[in-house]
Amino acid sequence: MTDIEKQVDVKESSGQQTPEAPSEHGIVDTIPYIDPELEKRVLRKFDVWLLPQMMLLMLVSNLDRSNIGNARVFGFEEDLGLQGTQFNNISTVFYATYVVCEVPWVMAVKRFGANKVLAAAILSWSIVTLGTGFIHNYHQAIAVRVLLGATEAGLTPALSFVQSTIWDRQSQAKRISLLYMSICLSGAFGGLIAYGIQTMGKRHGLAAWRWLFIVEGIISIGIGIIAWFTLPRSAESAWFLNEEEKALMRARKIKLAMFKGADEFSWKFAKRAFTDPFVYLAACLLFASSIPLFGFTTFLPTILRGLGHTGLAANYLSIPPYILASISLISWTTLSDKLNKRALIAFFAPMSCILGYAIVVGTPNAAAGYLAMFLCAAGIYPYNATLLTWVSNTLAPDDKRAVGIPLFASLANISGVVASQIYPSSDGPRYVMGNAVSLGMETIACGGIVAIWLLLSRRDKVKAKMEDEGIEDNGYAGEDRGLGFRYTL
């Protein structure tokens, strides 16, 4: 038994209370002592050992999801004999199963552990990606995209949930932003890989677009096998922690227990996620902002080709905007954590995106259109990362968060159905409809931040008034809507 466990055990068995200290939610609570220096050391270990793995998983997931956009400029449509909106339909069906399967995946992570569940998911979607390299018609393409959506569904909300069990609310934005940065980097790497594969030409009787799926599928399979052994089951049992550090994580769990919840899954709190208006309001805003995001990640090579660039150039010219997107994302979310402000950042970050889409809609000039893609990339990603962080910060305890985050994400991801249909081939070369819809949706998402701020501010004021009146329980004890919890605004 470590020193930390002894302190907790002795005080509990003797009936004495541990010293009182303010919790992260601003209330006074009975908690075990936690050495701040040791805590910093432990959290640094998670930054070193876990965050890079999370980023790698996000990168390969988005590579395997968005490579269909690169394949399109390689002759994917022609080889499969696609006509009309069939390519858009193939992109759309991915989201049918993606939306449905998000909540079950995250619940499985909470029940069985991140290592087994996420590794199984990675191996599953990697095999599907590999198989996509051997399809020959429209119906087979539909089938593999349906399977890909089901197997990739839980990754983003599951990783967000896992992060919320380790890092406090004030330091989550920049870490969630690293997950979104992986999406940006996947766009850059995807363009680079696609460029390299296209220069190979046809090898062993297989077209370049087939090799794109085969190579990326094999890479993902290897990463999935490694993840089975390197991902921890939980924060308290991480293999890279020693016994003293594991004890500290258990003590932190006790400290945060009031708003974290017990290990055993509670449907009482889970059901609260389905009845909280905040979840649905946030989902509507993410729905709006995800239409330009999904459209950008899937159709950027198509848009660039519409600006007059060849298939080869369209792939390598897609790399620089994603690099700028990564820099912008980290800058905005770091500022969000430093200021401990979510609404302010979410409101101003997408302004460049709105300007970018306004430019590309307003002028046919190719140089201006390419510049606009940089502006769009710089503004799309920070908004979504900040909003996801805000939702993770807001929902408590863990059981409500474990359902609320994927519910929020799954409702928002219905936007993928819309995004897949707004860039039909018939609208080329300028694709005014798709860019105009993206402009409108990003503007709505930006303005809607005010509604979330007003909702959460009002809740805080109501709780503060009840506390001033001496009310001790408002019926939401242990939840974010309970007395003592204050929202990050």
Reported as a single tens digit per residue, the pLDDT across 211-235 is 999 999 999 999 999 999 999 988 8
pLDDT digit string, tens, across residues 135-184 = 999 999 999 999 999 999 889 888 888 888 888 777 777 788 888 888 88
Q: Are the C-beta atoms of 164 and 401 separated by less than 8 Å?
A: yes
Can you give the pLDDT at residue 235? Answer: 86
Q: Are 333 and 345 in contact (CB under 8 A)?
A: yes
Which residue shows structure tokens 């889970």? 270
Q: How far apart are the C-alpha atoms of 247 and 255, rounded to whole Å? A: 12
Over range 278-290, report the average pLDDT: 95
The torsion region of residue 26 among left (phi > 0), alpha (psi -120 to 50) and beta comes to left
Beta-carbon count within 10 A of 179 CB: 23
Helices (H), 231-365: 243-255, 257-260, 267-275, 277-306, 311-316, 319-339, 343-348, 351-362
How much is the pLDDT for 195? 80
Q: Which residue has better confidence, 126 or 318?
A: 126
Q: Which amino acid is at 28?
A: V
Where do we find the tokens 């839980």? Answer: 154
Look-up: residue for tokens 């805080």?
Answer: 460
- For 266, counting Cβ atoms within 10 Å of its Cβ (0-12 exposed, 13-18 middle, 19+ buried), the class is middle
Angle formed at CA 479 by CA 19 and CA 175, multiple of 5 degrees = 85
Gap between the Cα atoms of 392 and 173, Å rounded? 9
C-alpha 191: how far from its chain's center? 21
Quick one: CA torsion of 460, 462, 467, 469, rounded to 10 degrees? 160
Backbone angle region of 266, left / alpha / beta, with phi > 0 → left and psi within -120 to 50 → alpha: beta
CA 248/CA 236 separation, integer angstroms:
8
Q: 214-229: buried (b, 16+ CB within 10 Å) or exposed (e) per residue?
A: bbbbebbbebbeebee
The model's pLDDT over 8-67, given as tens digits with 9 standing for 90+, comes to: 443 333 333 333 443 444 343 455 678 888 989 999 999 999 999 999 999 999 888 888
For residue 468, give the 3-state DSSP assignment: helix
The values of phi and psi at residue 174, to 5°, are: -70, -25
pLDDT tier for residue 265 given thresholds of 50, 70 and 90: low
C-alpha 46/C-alpha 178 separation (Å) is: 14
Location of structure tokens 């400029």? 73
Q: How much is the pLDDT for 212?
A: 92
Collect all residues with Cβ–Cβ distance below 8 Å to 408 and sequence separation of at least 6: 157, 279, 282, 283, 286, 391
Q: Is 476 helix (H, G, I), strand (E, B) or coil?
A: coil
Residue 30 host element (H or E): strand 28-30
Kindly state the tokens that stand for 187: 């766009």
Structural domains of the chain ordered from first start: 45-260+268-468 (1.20.1250.20)
pLDDT band at residue 291 using 50, 70 and 90 as cut-offs:
very high
Count other Cβ atoms within 10 Å, centred on residue 53: 18
Q: How confident is the model at residue 201 (pLDDT cuts 50, 70, 90)?
A: low
Residues present in the chain in total: 489
DSSP structural state of residue 206 = B
The continuous run of DSSP H or E covering 116 comes out as helix 114-132
Angle, CA 416 vertex, CA 411 and CA 422 arms, to 5°: 135
* Reported confidence tier of residue 463, pLDDT bands at 50, 70, 90: very high
Model confidence pLDDT, tens digit, residues 75-103: 899 999 999 889 989 988 998 898 888 88
User: What per-residue confidence (pLDDT) applies to 184?
Assistant: 84
DSSP H or E stretch at residue 223: helix 208-230
